[in-house]
Structure formats: C-alpha cells, structure tokens
C-alpha cells in the first residue's frame, strides 16, 4: 500500500480534534462502541507519533509488524485459526496502515468473529477426544514452538492437533500418577487402566474450566490485544495498558502485594517467569526461577488447573491470593524437567528489596566487603522513604571502618530503577565527571554528571552482572568500566535495555466534558535512549564483562536482542572524560582471572551445564510415547545430578553482618532466617568467589 505518515500532533491538540468529532462520548458494556473505539485508536496513534523515541511511518512495514504481532498474540500456537482463515487475513497484511489512519477496525472485526466461531468448534473437540483411552505405545510427537507449527488446513486437521495436545497433557498427568503409585506398597497400587482414566478425567475437567474462562472474555479484552499489537509494533517496551492492567502494573510497582512476588509474561502459550521480586514469597521459597514456564496452578487442597494458553491476566488472578494461603505451581524448567512448587503467599517484605552488605573473611586473612543491590530504589513519593544512594553511602562507610581490602558490588538480577540514584552512586567511586548520556529521539543528548568532586571509596572494586542486570544496572556497570574504575564479572552480556519509558494517561487527551463510564487506559511509550559516556548504547548489546563466567542462560536467547522490533544499537559522540586509573591497568588481573575460569573444574562444570541447557532449550518437539517420555525424564534427572556439586559451599570463608536489621515488625526467627539465607547464598556463589580472587590480584 502507499506510504503514509501519521500527523504528529501534541496531545492537547488531539483533544480539540476529538471534541469536534465526538462531543458526547460514552462507553457501554460489552457491546461494540464505535465512538469509544475510534477515539481510543486515534489517541493511541497520536500519542505514539508525538511521544515515541523513533516513531514509525504508518506504512507497509508498520502494517506487517502489526499483523504479525496480532496473529501471534491471538493464536501463537495455531490451535484455533485454520490455514483457510489465515489466507484470508493475509490480504490485510499490508492494509493495516490505511485502516489505522482511518481508525478502522475491519481487520479486527473479521478475526474476532472467526475466533468466536472457532472457539465453539474447538470446544466441541475435547469431550469426544478424552472419552476414549489413549494409546501411549504409539510413536507420535507434538511440536510446541509456534513458529514451527503450520496452521491446520481445515477443522478436521485442527481436531487431530487438539488430539495430540490433549494426549500430551494426559501423558504428563499419567506419568505423575505412576510416580505417585510407585511410592506405595505394591499391593496398594492401582492399575494402569485406572490411572489412565483418572488422568483423562483431570484433563477434561481442566479443559472445561479453560473454555469457560475463554468464553467469559469480553470483546474489549480481544480489542485490547489488537491495540497492544499496534503499540508493540513500535518497540517491545511500548504498550497499551487497559485500565485493569494499568492498575495491576501500579500494584506491582508499589512493592506491596499479597501473592507470590513474581513478574510473569505470556510466551508461546505458556506463562513465563521473567523476574522474582526480592523479598517476596517466591524469593524466600527459592525454587521458582526466571524462565520457568508455569503450566498448572492449584490452590491448597485443590485440583491443579492447566493454564497453558490461558490469558496472562487470568493466570495472575489464579496465582494471587491472601497472605498465608498456599498456591502450588507446576513448572517446566529450562532443562525440560517438571517440578511442583508450593508457595505460601505473603506481603512482599520491602526490607528484602533493599541493599544488604557483609564482610567476607578468607583463610588468607583477606577481608572483602560484599554489597548486594537488588534494585535502584528511591523515595519517589517524597514521604521519607529509603533510597539506594543513601544506603550505599552508609554501607561503604561501614565497610571501610571494618578495614576491608576491596568491595564486590553485586548487580545481578537488578532490573534498574532511579536514574538520579545511579548518578549519585557512581559519584561515590569517582571524583567527578559524566556518568551517562540521555537522548530523546530528535533532540540533543543531555549529559548527566557527578559534580561533587569527592570520592567516598577509592579501593579495588569488582561489579557482578548477569543477563538480567538491566537499565540502571547497565548504566552503572558501563560507567565504571569506561572509567577503568572497576572490573566487571558476569555472564556473556547484560540484558541490553538502553531505553526509558514513561506512562501517559490517555484520558488527558480527551476533550473537556467527555463522559466515560470507564477510563481509556494508559500508553507506556519509549521516549529516550541511554548512551554510555564513550558514545555507545547498551541497547541490545548490553554491557560485555571484562571477565566472562558462564551461567545457566549463557547460550539461551534472553534479553533485549531476543525481542521482535527492539530498537537498534547505535552510537553518538563520546563525552569528555578521563579514566580513573591508567588504561589497561587491570590487564594482568583480567588475564589471571580468565586463566582460572578456563582451568578450574567448577567453572568448567558451569560451562558444561550451560551448554546442556542450550541443547535442551532447542528441544521443542515432545514424544507422546509413555515409555520414551519416562526414559527421557530419567536422563534429565541423571544429568541434573551431575551438577549437584555446584550447589556445595565454598570452603575457607566466614561471613559477618554489617547492616543492622531495622524492621521492628519482624520477629527474631525471621531475622535469623533471612540472615542465614543471605550468608548461605554467598558461601555457594562461584561468582562472588571469583570476585574475591580478583580483588586479591588487584591489590598486588
């Protein structure tokens, strides 16, 4: 189609235009509301055009992106639409630009109507399929990678795909039931026929509940999926938040939740764990990990509910609950193993999300300070809360009073936070100078500097990062690396998020006097990019450590570069700065560390483990043969046991606390358990251990 540019208008002008077109705008329930939908569509596009760091031209490329994102979001595992329907939709693949400029929802209407029809068709499959026993001796396979699955040519072929899907789910339940029976006395065990029948009954019950939930979705729920595809065509961090989702986001950002404390996202039909909130119930329990796929959810004493292909908002509602109640999550690990994890819901203890520090004493006599910073938290409300800069100052002063010879600053799994505090913390380690550049799309970069001219800590410094160190963490690690102030140790690269987003309430674009039964929601939009002081951005590439130690995710695609339509890496002019030490002053230390990593058997085991996980992550096709499935599980369990030594404590170190626990609401046992957990984690951590060796080399 012809290339079209959306008119870039300030949001305050958008309100005037919309006022002329829709003077009496209201919203009704689940029925189509053309006025509201048109208004929302235009407000989104106007906001994106005005506010986005690099607004797209509304042309064929934009259309193709929207088409792909929407089809993936609606049916990524191709279990509803057929090839015949998809062929009809492809006619819109290069028309969505024109339709968008007209705020025309024709494409959505066609796909939504078909989806409702297909929902009824597919719902009719499962009862007949599950009415008869499955033959688990037959060699069949099922593919779970959406991009490798073809659309069924018609509903008959689609039914066979559902047969395989239901057979696999029954296989998993049957396998678990067999394991449970094998733990009983032989005389008490039930027969295979009984177990297979029970497995099918449980799957049928799960399917019934699944379709019941799907049918409760409103038209607006699916329309929000479409608007989400429009916004994420710009970049993965630009999103439309309907009112309920924005409310959920605010709850997550507040740091106070009654739930498990894990950030989740939809991933190819699964619910994927993308972050464990420090101090949360999941964090304390310890078994739930980033990149786990949650496949079932059960309430205490209740039946597990299959959540594969369930909408994320519904999954979240199942997992949330009152403090003290238990939720049981069945998860698929990165290595393919299935594990059930019980988590007692709790209110996230903010104290656990704050900086912690300790002194690590080695047999050699070396005393090293260790600081763990889970996030760059700050008192945004101005109500007298804590901020990480002040806590960092206190920790550095305290550690130096204890005569530590170096400091290991741990930024692993730190997803970012306050930019102001990043600048202030960087200033604790350098006299003065630029720390980061921030650039809007069409404007000149602003250089954020430390200006106080003082250094609070000038000794050896090591920074630990991993693939989940993002945003503000990357700013600090990059600045210390550019200044040659610290040695960075970590997995092959950090997350690679070099962008900043801001929320804009779409209601603010409405004309005065407009009456809404519900708000329009919010637009989260990428407005700026971060750049290092050397002129390069962390976007997509992340920060490359000076010393690379493999971890479980080293060879598995993660981070910004794994997203569709992520903004590109680029460079701007470097700032005027001077290295803290002479360039390459740490070259011999880095060389020594690399030699240790290459020769130490423990680091070799980490490398082997990472490579095995890489191979397992590529396995997307699964057998429907029970014997082969159980043999595969045994192989996976045996492989996992080979790396149990990586969980052993490192000998020859003792740990002492530095910071006083200040939360008076915690009883003594909780305080003691928290301290023990913190110390135990340090004693088993090979990355911290290598940091200690690097500090020793830096002192020579």
Does residue 621 contact residue 144 with C-beta atoms inside 8 Å? yes
- In a shared domain, residues 166 and 221: yes
Q: Is residue 543 part of a domain?
A: yes
Q: Is residue 20 part of a domain?
A: no
Q: What angle do CA 510, 512, 517 make, to 5 degrees?
A: 65
Q: Is residue 23 part of a domain?
A: no
- In a shared domain, residues 89 and 169: yes
Please give the span between the terminal C-alpha atoms of the chain, in angstroms, as a whole number.
66
- In a shared domain, residues 422 and 564: yes
- pLDDT of res. 521: 87
- In a shared domain, residues 558 and 411: yes
- pLDDT of res. 251: 44
- In a shared domain, residues 382 and 456: yes
Point out the residues of the chain with pLDDT beneath 50. 1-29, 250-256, 661-666
Chain centroid to Cα 201, Å, comes to 34
pTM over 0.75: yes
Domain boundary among 318, 347, 376: 347
- pLDDT of res. 68: 96
SS3 percent helix, strand, coil of the chain, rounded to 5, is 45, 15, 40
Helix (H) or strand (E) holding 438: strand 433-440
- In a shared domain, residues 159 and 262: no
Instruction: Give the residue from 457, 461, 456 showing the smallest Cα distance to 484.
Output: 461
What is the sign of the dihedral through the CA atoms of 236, 237, 242 and 248? positive
Q: Is residue 32 part of a domain?
A: no
Neighbouring CB atoms inside 10 A of 313's CB total: 15
What is the sign of the dihedral through the CA atoms of 536, 537, 540 and 545? positive
Q: What are the tens digits of pLDDT across the range 417-471?
A: 889 999 999 999 999 999 999 999 988 999 999 998 899 999 999 999 999 999 9
Q: Is residue 169 part of a domain?
A: yes
- In a shared domain, residues 444 and 562: yes
Instruction: Give the residue from 516, 523, 518 showing the smallest Cα distance to 18.
Output: 516
- In a shared domain, residues 195 and 125: yes
Helix (H) or strand (E) holding 313: helix 312-319
- In a shared domain, residues 151 and 169: yes
Q: Is residue 565 part of a domain?
A: yes
**Contacts made by residues 241-247, CB under 8 angstroms, sequence distance 24+:** 241/503, 241/521, 241/522, 241/523, 241/524, 242/521, 243/518, 243/519, 243/520, 243/521, 244/313, 245/313, 245/521, 246/503, 246/521, 246/522
- In a shared domain, residues 358 and 343: no
What CATH number is attached to the domain comprising 316? 2.30.42.10
Show the tokens assigned to 598.
């290459």
User: Please, what is the angle between helix 686-698 and helix 587-599, to 10°?
Assistant: 140
What CATH number is attached to the domain comprising 693? 3.90.226.10
- pLDDT of res. 664: 39
Domain that holds residue 335: 257-347
- In a shared domain, residues 550 and 486: yes
Q: Is residue 184 part of a domain?
A: yes
What is the β-pairing status of strands 407-410 and 461-465?
parallel
Q: Is residue 691 part of a domain?
A: yes
- pLDDT of res. 396: 97
- In a shared domain, residues 334 and 360: no
Instruction: Give the residue from 573, 487, 565 showing the smallest Cα distance to 537.
Output: 573
- The number of distinct structural domains making up the chain is 3
- pLDDT of res. 93: 97
Cα–Cα distance measured from residue 291 to residue 377, given in angstroms and rounded to the nearest whole number: 24
């Amino acid at each position: 189609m012809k290339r079209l540019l959306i008119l870039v208008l300030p949001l305050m002008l958008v309100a005037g235009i919309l006022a002329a077109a829709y003077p009496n705008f209201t919203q009704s329930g689940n029925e189509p509301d053309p006025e509201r939908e048109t208004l929302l569509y235009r407000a989104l596009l106007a906001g994106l055009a005005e506010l986005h760091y690099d607004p797209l031209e509304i042309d064929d490329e934009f259309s193709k992106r929207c088409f792909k994102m929407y089809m993936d979001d609606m049916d990524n595992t191709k279990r509803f639409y057929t090839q015949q329907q998809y062929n009809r939709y492809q006619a819109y693949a290069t028309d969505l630009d024109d339709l968008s400029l007209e705020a025309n929802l024709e494409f959505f209407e066609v796909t939504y109507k078909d989806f409702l029809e297909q929902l009824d068709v597919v719902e009719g499959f499962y009862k007949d399929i599950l009415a008869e026993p499955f033959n688990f001796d037959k060699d069949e396979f099922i593919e779970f990678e959406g991009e490798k699955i073809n659309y069924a040519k018609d509903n008959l072929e689609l039914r066979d795909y559902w047969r395989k899907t239901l057979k696999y789910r029954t296989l998993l339940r049957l396998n678990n039931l067999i394991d449970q029976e094998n733990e009983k006395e032989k005389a008490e065990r039930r027969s295979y026929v009984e177990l297979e029948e029970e497995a099918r009954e449980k799957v049928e019950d799960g399917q019934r509940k699944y379709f019941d939930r799907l049918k409760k979705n409103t038209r607006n729920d699916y329309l929000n999926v479409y608007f989400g595809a429009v916004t994420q065509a710009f970049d993965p961090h630009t999103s439309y938040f309907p009112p309920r989702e924005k409310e959920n986001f605010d709850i997550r950002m507040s740091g106070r939740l009654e739930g498990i404390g894990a950030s989740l996202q939809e991933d190819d039909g699964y619910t994927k764990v993308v972050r464990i909130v420090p101090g949360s119930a999941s964090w304390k329990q310890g078994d739930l990990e980033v990149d786990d796929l949650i496949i079932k959810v059960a309430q205490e004493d209740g039946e597990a509910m299959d959540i594969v292909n369930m909408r994320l908002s519904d999954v979240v509602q199942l997992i949330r609950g009152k403090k003290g109640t238990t939720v049981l999550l069945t998860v698929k690990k990165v290595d393919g193993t299935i594990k059930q994890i019980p988590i007692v819901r709790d209110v996230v203890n903010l104290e656990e999300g704050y900086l912690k520090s300790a002194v690590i004493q080695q047999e050699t006599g070396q005393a090293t300070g260790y600081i763990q910073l889970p996030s760059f938290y700050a008192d945004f409300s101005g109500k007298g809360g804590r901020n990480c800069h002040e806590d960092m100052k206190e920790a550095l002063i305290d550690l130096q009073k204890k005569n530590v010879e170096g400091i290991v600053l741990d930024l692993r799994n730190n997803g970012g936070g306050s930019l102001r505090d990043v600048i202030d913390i960087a200033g604790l380690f350098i006299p003065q100078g630029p720390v980061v550049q921030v650039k809007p799309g069409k404007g000149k970069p602003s250089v954020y500097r430390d200006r106080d001219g003082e250094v609070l800590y000038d000794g050896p410094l090591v920074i630990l990062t991993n693939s989940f160190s993002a945003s503000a963490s990357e700013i600090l690690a990059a600045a210390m690396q550019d200044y040659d102030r610290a040695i960075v140790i970590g997995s092959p690269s950090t997350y690679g998020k070099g962008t900043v987003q801001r929320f804009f309430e779409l209601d603010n674009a409405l004309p005065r006097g407009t009456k809404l039964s519900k708000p329009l929601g919010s637009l989260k939009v990428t407005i700026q990019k971060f750049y290092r002081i050397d002129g390069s951005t962390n976007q997509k590439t992340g920060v490359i450590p000076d010393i690379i130690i493999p971890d479980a995710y080293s060879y598995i695609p993660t981070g910004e570069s794994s997203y569709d339509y992520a903004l590109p890496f680029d460079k701007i002019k470097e700032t005027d700065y001077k290295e803290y030490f002479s360039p390459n002053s740490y070259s011999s230390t880095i060389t020594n560390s690399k030699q240790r990593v290459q020769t130490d058997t423990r680091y070799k085991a980490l490398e082997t483990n990472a490579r095995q996980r890489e191979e397992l992550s590529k396995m997307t096709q699964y057998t429907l043969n029970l014997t082969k499935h159980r043999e595969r599980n045994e192989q996976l369990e045996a492989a996992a046991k080979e790396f149990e030594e990586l969980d052993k404590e490192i000998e020859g170190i003792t740990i002492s606390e530095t910071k006083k626990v200040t939360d008076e609401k915690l009883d003594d046992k909780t305080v003691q358990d928290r301290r023990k957990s913190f110390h135990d984690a340090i004693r088993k951590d090979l990355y911290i251990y290598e940091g200690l060796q690097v500090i020793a080399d830096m002192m020579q």
